[in-house]
Chains A and B, each alone.
Chain A
Amino acid sequence: DSGVTQTPKHLITATGQRVTLRCSPRSGDLSVYWYQQSLDQGLQFLIQYYNGEERAKGNILERFSAQQFPDLHSELNLSSLELGDSALYFCASSVEGTNTEAFFGQGTRLTVV
């Protein structure tokens, strides 16, 4: 158990809908990262937050957004969902903001039908 908790584990929704994925980082970790993993693309970095502020952006679509709350949990919002958004979404956390030794959660499997 990495100590990073993601909910829900599975999510099935229809095209055009909006969903929210939640992540609780390890105790003491200030930084949260979101990744998307699909079969053909591998792990793709989406966005990073550090102590409530956006720190870095990767390949995140405009339909996607995230935030980190004062208690350091984070939410990833996906809207206007398309079939191609079906993937595993991972959250990771680390003590610092430099992405060293990040610990991953178990992921949320999103299926868009």
Chain B
Amino acid sequence: EDQVTQSPEALRLQEGESSSLNCSYTVSGLRGLFWYRQDPGKGPEFLFTLYSAGEEKEKERLKATLTKKESFLHITAPKPEDSATYLCAVLIFYGGSQGNLIFGKGTKLSVKP
């Protein structure tokens, strides 16, 4: 069964305290891995797409990396405005051009000043 697991479920950091969020997956036919940020009551906001093991992408204080079995979202010197739920999703193909995004349950990040 295709599955995406994120850990930890919740993470509390002090401002400036760097850390990493994990997304592990067991899927067949992986075509890409996505990171989204979601603020309470709002739709997910696209952050990164990673397609192959070894790939890295950065945006401000965030850096996403991908291996064959998992992805990490590294947060360097976080600020309170980075507080949000971070969602990981994997794109799988069932055949032809039919794809589906399978989401993890997210990591709720709180950054205290």
B100 touches A100 (CB 8 A): no
Binds B, one of A13-21, A62-70, A74-82, A101-109: A101-109
The chain B residue sitting closest to A4, CB to CB, is B43
Q: How large is the interface on A (under 10, 10 to 19, 20 to 34, 35 or more residues)?
A: 20 to 34
Tell whether A8 is near chain B: CB-to-CB under 8 Å: no
> What residues of B have a CB within 8 angstroms of the CB of A27 in the complex?
none
Interface size, B (range): 20 to 34
Contact among B36, B49, B98, B105 for A100, CB-based, below 8 A: B49
Could you tell me if A97 and B97 are in contact, using CB atoms closer than 8 angstroms? yes
Residue of A nearest to B89 (CB): A43
CB of B43 within 8 A of CB of A42, answer no
Q: A56-B94, A98-B91 are in contact. Are A106 and B42 (CB under 8 A)?
A: yes
